[in-house]
Amino acid sequence: MSLLSHCGVQELQNSGIHDITKDEVSTGTTIIAAIYDGGVIIGADSRTTTGAYIANRVTDKLTKVCDNIYCCRSGSAADTQAITDIVAYYMDLTSVQMGEPPLVRAAANVFKNLIYENRHQLTAGVIVAGWDSRFGGQVYSINVSGTIVQQNISIGGSGSSYLYGFMDSQYKDGMSQQECENLVLNAISLAIKRDGSSGGVVRMGVINHTGSIQRKLVLGDQLPKFYDNIYEEKPLISSGGDATMA
């Protein structure tokens, strides 16, 4: 008898019951990158799922490409990790050849080419963010089909569906670092509240002229819950014996 048969895997497959061990490990997620006056803020939740099963509660989805460039990953965990490793290799090579840190747009274009050329085999969506001396803080969004768009603020992952209106109303050009950090933290907290595939802790990073990232971590029990008090119950006003809503 094989080990798989001994563990009951054969019977499970023959019974027609869905086997979660066959599901792809996915970063169903919330990722955000935003430009502030002086650099960029990146942020993400930490939940990784395999189908409906939470495979990892504390995943780091903010992945280093080089000192001044990071990417936020969504889609298949394996695909995004493999692509990021390849881009990081190219950026290290470029840095040695040029004698200076690589441009953010150069890294974003390598991501775009890899995702587009392998779009039928991979499930990978990334946000590339960083700072360079030529163009300052930049954010590039690359979706699973390989389309690249430069934006001041970008959101991605399953939790982004709940954030479009919030981000449109709250983000503005020229925000200070603290204002942008609060916006990113509040947005991810809101997505975690609404999206079943987002959860865990919030990881954030600040990238600016220093050429390196400043990491920040907010635990799940410390996340802001501002959204619980948005709707306040208004008192009933009595008029001529009839109660009407104010």
SS3 57: coil
**Helices within the chain (DSSP H only):** 3-6, 9-14, 77-98, 104-117, 164-170, 177-194
**Does residue 210 have an active-site annotation?**
no
* Own/partner long-range contacts of 81-85 (Cβ < 8 Å, ≥24 apart): 83/111, 83/114, 83/115, 83/122, 83/124, 83/126, 84/126
Q: Mark residue 243 as left, alpha or beta (left: phi above 0; alpha: psi -120 to 50; beta: remaining).
A: beta
Active-site hit among 29, 30, 48, 80: 29
User: Distance (Å, rounded) from C-alpha 67 to C-alpha 69?
Assistant: 6
Q: Are 151 and 173 spatial neighbours (Cβ–Cβ below 8 Å)?
A: no
Q: From 87, 32, 35, 24, select the one nearest 61 (Cα to Cα).
A: 32
- Cα(17)–Cα(27) distance, rounded to whole angstroms? 24
- Show the tokens assigned to 58: 């504390």
By annotation, the residues acting in catalysis are: 29
